[in-house]
């Protein structure tokens, strides 16, 4: 299958691009494939103590007493701390979303619980000792007496009244939020057909293969923390604020980080506690999360119940789309918790021209682990709502699912396109991606094959998802305190430093955890400076070596951080041109970067290499009035978000006897603008798609009605393995973004945003002849079998459907 988008090389890429657009293999990989990389757990300091947490087995209880005597008496144990010991923290853990004009119930949330626990896994004490095994033994000796309180786990029941997760609010409602766009009543009045769905987007886990970990070292008045985090700069800020240490004396390093998927975009209590404990004890303190802890207390994602309502005219023209969402936020507001469902609202129009679109959200407390950002964060939920509702609309109108999509696509001439809610999509050409998809999928042949298989009792189906998403966080004007309400500015920083020898070190404020920034960013800078990417070292994830940064999430690193680096490198190139012009007595505007040299246009033999330019710059052999040296810093933020889009198709076989779903084929056509490294794009799409297939078919964080987590390990929480999956077919179209000079859009989340409705729609397509028209995820054999049984009029416990 072709993986190179036609026209990629000519579409907006500068003519001198030698490296941008090429599938360079990664600079990161040699250390990773030989076991030489250093993740947090691999870092040891002399005198390091280990921490283990005592966690609540109760979902909701008062803490009556904590008896740590026996634990403290154990050999090698240095201390046992409880919530009261941390009374010198200046503030609770942060929630960084303060939406203007919206009231938000926000309970205090401390690194160690104070007086009560609100979900299973809430930490009540921490043991510090000399040995990783011994602290776990000692933690088991801490005796905690609990007085259990009533538990609520169903968000819709929680909204109806007591029991309350936080008694002081007299309600379990966290907040209400709306994004209106047009007159709903008028929109539905124009519809000939209205379909409604209750779309449950169940709770999932980020489940990076590396659990979290923290190593904190306080000495001589300064704190250094290594953390498996996506957001070292935010962690530094809150360590400084909460511990009352001047920010310049706190350094946070995200070393090699083993995946995040949003679950490491957080200010976790364990990070704050470990720093606090190192200061308290005067020794380094290390905590490595177990997988069981990861499943219980690393924030979860999704968990929304949506009531969707879509109206259309008889010819398929959509007149209005309304969603009411009940979002289960769990027990506390963590850093972005209540804002996650809202992130889907800006693209609730999907790729369709819909005159009236409205999203209404209610956030709810329950006695469960808090939810927060997990890959896609709000947009996978939105896409699922749109795409499964639209398929049902097509079925009820008797229109082909692809035809109804095309009929409602925002035409390419409309871009930049303003939707009903006032959001402006930067660029798009939705027919083009769907056309490309159908070059790979022969629909006439598929329908013939499907019919032939059905005649033999084999149920094969095809499902589609045509999507867009909003990413590249973010223009502060739209996303920051005065706009959406996120309490930060969302620029990104870059430093480009050319050394004496012409080697280049660049710093980015983004913080990768698998994406390949060291390679892609080196490609960008190399082209600007006429050097090989091999001599461009990309430094990231260390607050002590670069400027303030805004880290990695929301598919922002390339579209914001990469662009910032590109602009920074352009400053260096401009300075280099001025130096070369000065040296060669030419005009700066006549100097060009060509074949690795800064040379005079038309006289390619007259020129200087970057090393020669750097030599002149550091010898202060520069034009009058110019500073010596060859280094620049850039802070840049975009004017708008970017909106990647695409068309995905999934083919499944469903076994009606067992309900088992097998993915036969998956084709993804995505458009993320100009490519920096197409190999990295493809990798992001593969992983993103499988993340959503996992949710669609297997993964489900489940609590029982007492709030006990019943999926606490990877035995019960089924991540997809190689054995369940096919190889994927990927392709791209290229519609450059006008938002940045590279014409690039984010791609880290698109697969996850696109895929779950494609899988669901495929299963429904297979089963419509049996009378099944919707099943909520995960499409487990039991659920599918029950849906078939119900549709066939058999009792769920009865026999196999006819």
Partner 1 sequence: MSRTIPVRLNVNGVEHHLDVEPRVLLVYALRDQLGLTGTHVGCDTSNCGACTVHLDGRAVKSCTVLAVQADDAAVTTIEGLGTEEQLHPVQEAFWNDHALQCGFCTPGMIMAASALLAENPSPSEDEVRHALDGNLCRCTGYHNIVKAVLDAAASKSATIPQQPEVRA
Asked if 41 interacts with partner 1 (CB under 8 A), we say yes
Instruction: Tell me which stretch binds partner 1 (CB under 8 A): 39-47, 306-314, 315-323, 413-421.
Output: 39-47
CB closer to partner 1, 263 vs 476: 263
**Min dist. Cβ of residue 330 to partner 1 (A):** 22
Beta bridge partners of 513: none
Total residues at interface with partner 1 (CB under 8 A): 60
**Min dist. Cβ of residue 43 to partner 1 (A):** 9
CB closer to partner 1, 5 vs 356: 5
Instruction: Tell me which stretch binds partner 1 (CB under 8 A): 338-346, 393-401, 460-468, 676-684.
Output: 676-684
Phi, psi of 711 (to 5 degrees): -120, 60
The closest alpha carbon to 483, from 345, 308, 604, belongs to 345
Beta bridge partners of 496: 506, 632
Distance of CA 617 to the CA centre of its chain: 41
The closest alpha carbon to 647, from 389, 277, 305, 351, belongs to 351
**Min dist. Cβ of residue 680 to partner 1 (A):** 7
The closest alpha carbon to 290, from 436, 396, 139, belongs to 139
CB 229 within 8 A of CB 236: no
**Min dist. Cβ of residue 25 to partner 1 (A):** 6
The closest alpha carbon to 577, from 563, 565, 589, 559, belongs to 589
Beta bridge partners of 464: 649
Binding partner 1 by CB under 8 A: which of 61, 257, 560, 676?
A: 257
Q: Please, what is the Cα angle at 490 between 489 and 494, to 5 degrees?
A: 115
Q: How many CB atoms lie under 10 A from the CB of residue 218?
A: 25
What is the distance between the alpha carbons of residues 731 and 295, in angstroms, rounded to a whole number? 35
Going residue by residue from 631 to 670, which x/- string records binding to partner 1, judged by CB under 8 A? ----------------------------------------
**Min dist. Cβ of residue 713 to partner 1 (A):** 5
- Half-sphere exposure at residue 2, Cβ-oriented, CA atoms within 13 angstroms: 14
Binding partner 1 by CB under 8 A: which of 7, 30, 544, 793?
A: 30
Q: What Cα–Cα distance (Å) separates residue 366 from each residue in 158, 159, 306, 453?
A: 7, 10, 17, 46
Asked if 39 interacts with partner 1 (CB under 8 A), we say yes
Asked if 26 interacts with partner 1 (CB under 8 A), we say yes
**Min dist. Cβ of residue 650 to partner 1 (A):** 13
- For 761-794, the DSSP string reads HHHHHHHGGGT----PSS--HHHHHHHHHHHTT-
Going residue by residue from 750 to 789, which x/- string records binding to partner 1, judged by CB under 8 A? -x--------------------------------------
Q: Strand, coil or helix: what is 222?
A: strand
Asked if 107 interacts with partner 1 (CB under 8 A), we say no
**Min dist. Cβ of residue 492 to partner 1 (A):** 21
Q: Strand, coil or helix: what is 586?
A: coil
The interface with partner 1 within residues 716-745 (CB under 8 A) comprises 719, 721-723, 725, 727-728
DSSP state of 174: E
The closest alpha carbon to 472, from 386, 382, 550, 385, belongs to 550
Asked if 21 interacts with partner 1 (CB under 8 A), we say no
CA dihedral sign, ordered 204, 210, 211, 212: negative
**Min dist. Cβ of residue 205 to partner 1 (A):** 10
CB closer to partner 1, 184 vs 374: 374
CB closer to partner 1, 193 vs 718: 718
Going residue by residue from 262 to 291, which x/- string records binding to partner 1, judged by CB under 8 A? ----------------------------xx
**Min dist. Cβ of residue 596 to partner 1 (A):** 25
Asked if 1 interacts with partner 1 (CB under 8 A), we say no
First to last CA, the chain: 39
CB 307 within 8 A of CB 323: yes
Asked if 256 interacts with partner 1 (CB under 8 A), we say yes
**Min dist. Cβ of residue 231 to partner 1 (A):** 16
What is the distance between the alpha carbons of residues 791 and 767, in angstroms, rounded to a whole number? 10
Binding partner 1 by CB under 8 A: which of 6, 7, 38, 170?
A: 38
CB 508 within 8 A of CB 254: no
Q: Strand, coil or helix: what is 538?
A: strand
Going residue by residue from 116 to 145, which x/- string records binding to partner 1, judged by CB under 8 A? ---------------xxxx-----------
**Min dist. Cβ of residue 363 to partner 1 (A):** 28
The interface with partner 1 within residues 498-537 (CB under 8 A) comprises 513-516
**Footprint of partner 1 (CB under 8 A):** 25-26, 28-39, 41-42, 75-76, 131-134, 207-211, 256-259, 261, 290-292, 513-516, 679-680, 682-683, 686-691, 713-715, 719, 721-723, 725, 727-728, 751
């Amino acid at each position: 299958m072709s993986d190179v988008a036609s026209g990629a090389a000519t579409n907006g890429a500068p003519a001198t691009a030698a490296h941008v657009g090429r599938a360079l293999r990664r600079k990161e990989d040699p250390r990773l494939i030989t076991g030489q990389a250093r993740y947090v757990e691999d870092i040891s300091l002399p005198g390091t103590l280990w921490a283990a947490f005592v966690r609540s087995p109760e979902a909701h209880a008062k803490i009556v007493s904590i008896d740590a005597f026996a634990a403290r008496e154990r050999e090698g144990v240095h201390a046992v701390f409880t919530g009261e010991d941390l009374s010198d923290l200046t503030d609770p853990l942060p929630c960084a979303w303060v939406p203007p004009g919206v009231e938000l119930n926000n309970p205090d949330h401390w690194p160690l619980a104070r007086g009560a626990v609100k979900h299973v896994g809430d930490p009540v004490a921490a043991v510090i000792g000399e040995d990783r095994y011994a602290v776990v033994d000692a933690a088991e000796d801490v005796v905690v007496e609990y007085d259990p309180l009533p538990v609520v786990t169903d968000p819709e029941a929680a909204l109806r009244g007591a029991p309350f997760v936080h008694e002081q609010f007299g309600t379990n409602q966290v907040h209400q939020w709306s994004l209106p766009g047009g007159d709903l009543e008028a929109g539905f009045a124009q519809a000939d057909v209205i379909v409604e769905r209750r779309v449950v987007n169940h709770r999932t886990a980020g489940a990076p293969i590396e659990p979290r970990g923290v190593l904190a070292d306080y000495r001589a008045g300064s704190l250094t923390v290594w953390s498996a985090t996506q957001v070292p700069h935010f962690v530094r800020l809150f360590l400084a604020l909460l511990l009352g240490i001047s920010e310049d004396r706190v350094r946070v390093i995200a070393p090699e980080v083993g995946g995040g998927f949003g679950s490491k975009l957080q200010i976790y209590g364990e990070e704050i506690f470990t720093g606090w404990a190192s200061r308290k004890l005067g020794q380094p303190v290390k905590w490595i999360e177990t997988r069981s802890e990861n499943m219980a207390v690393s924030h979860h994602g999704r968990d929304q119940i949506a009531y969707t309502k879509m109206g259309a005219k008889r010819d398929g023209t959509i007149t209005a789309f309304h969603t009411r969402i009940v979002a289960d936020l769990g027990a506390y507001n963590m850093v972005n918790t209540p804002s996650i469902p809202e992130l889907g609202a800006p693209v609730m129009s999907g790729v369709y021209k819909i005159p009236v679109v409205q999203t209404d959200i209610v956030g709810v407390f329950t006695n469960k682990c808090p939810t927060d950002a997990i890959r896609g964060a709000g947009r996978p939920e939105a896409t699922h709502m749109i795409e499964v509702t639209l398929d049902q609309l097509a079925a009820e109108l008797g229109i082909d699912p692809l035809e109804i999509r095309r009929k409602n696509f925002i035409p390419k001439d409309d871009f930049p396109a303003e939707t009903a809610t006032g959001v402006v999509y930067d660029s798009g050409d939705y027919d083009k991606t769907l056309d490309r998809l159908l070059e790979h999928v022969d629909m006439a042949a598929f329908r013939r094959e499907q019919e032939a298989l059905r005649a033999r009792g084999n149920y094969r189906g095809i499902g589609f998802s045509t999507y867009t998403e909003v990413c590249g966080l973010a223009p502060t004007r739209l996303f920051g305190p005065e706009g959406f309400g996120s309490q930060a500015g969302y620029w990104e920083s870059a430093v480009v430093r050319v050394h004496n020898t012409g080697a280049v070190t660049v710093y980015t404020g983004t913080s990768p955890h698998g994406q390949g920034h060291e390679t892609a960013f080196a490609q960008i800078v190399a082209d600007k400076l006429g050097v090989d990417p091999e001599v461009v070292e990309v430094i990231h994830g260390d607050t002590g070596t670069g400027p303030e940064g805004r880290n990695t999430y929301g598919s922002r690193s390339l579209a914001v951080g990469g662009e910032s680096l590109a602009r920074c490198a352009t400053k260096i190139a401009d300075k280099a041109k001025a130096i070369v012009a000065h040296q060669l007595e030419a005009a700066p505007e006549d100097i060009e970067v060509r074949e690795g040299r800064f040379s005079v246009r038309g006289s390619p033999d007259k020129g200087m290499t970057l090393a020669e330019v750097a030599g002149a710059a550091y010898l202060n052999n520069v034009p009058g009035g110019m500073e010596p040296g060859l280094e620049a810093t850039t802070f840049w933020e975009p004017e708008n978000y970017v909106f990647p889009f695409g068309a995905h198709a999934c083919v499944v076989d469903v076994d009606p006897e067992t309900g088992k779903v097998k993915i036969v084929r998956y084709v993804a056509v995505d458009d993320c603008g100009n490519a920096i490294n197409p190999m990295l794009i493809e990798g992001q799409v593969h992983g993103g798609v499988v993340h959503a297939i996992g949710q669609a078919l297997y993964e489900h964080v489940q609590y029982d009605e007492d709030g006990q987590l019943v999926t606490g390990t990877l035995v019960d929480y089924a991540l997809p393995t190689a054995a369940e999956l096919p190889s994927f077919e990927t392709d791209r179209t290229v519609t450059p973004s006008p938002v940045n000079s590279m014409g690039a859009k984010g791609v880290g989340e698109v697969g996850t945003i696109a895929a779950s409705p494609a899988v669901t729609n495929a299963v429904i397509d297979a089963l419509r002849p049996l009378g099944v028209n919707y099943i909520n995820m995960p499409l487990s054999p039991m659920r599918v079998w029950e849906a078939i049984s119900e549709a066939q009029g058999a009792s769920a416990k009865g026999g196999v459907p006819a």
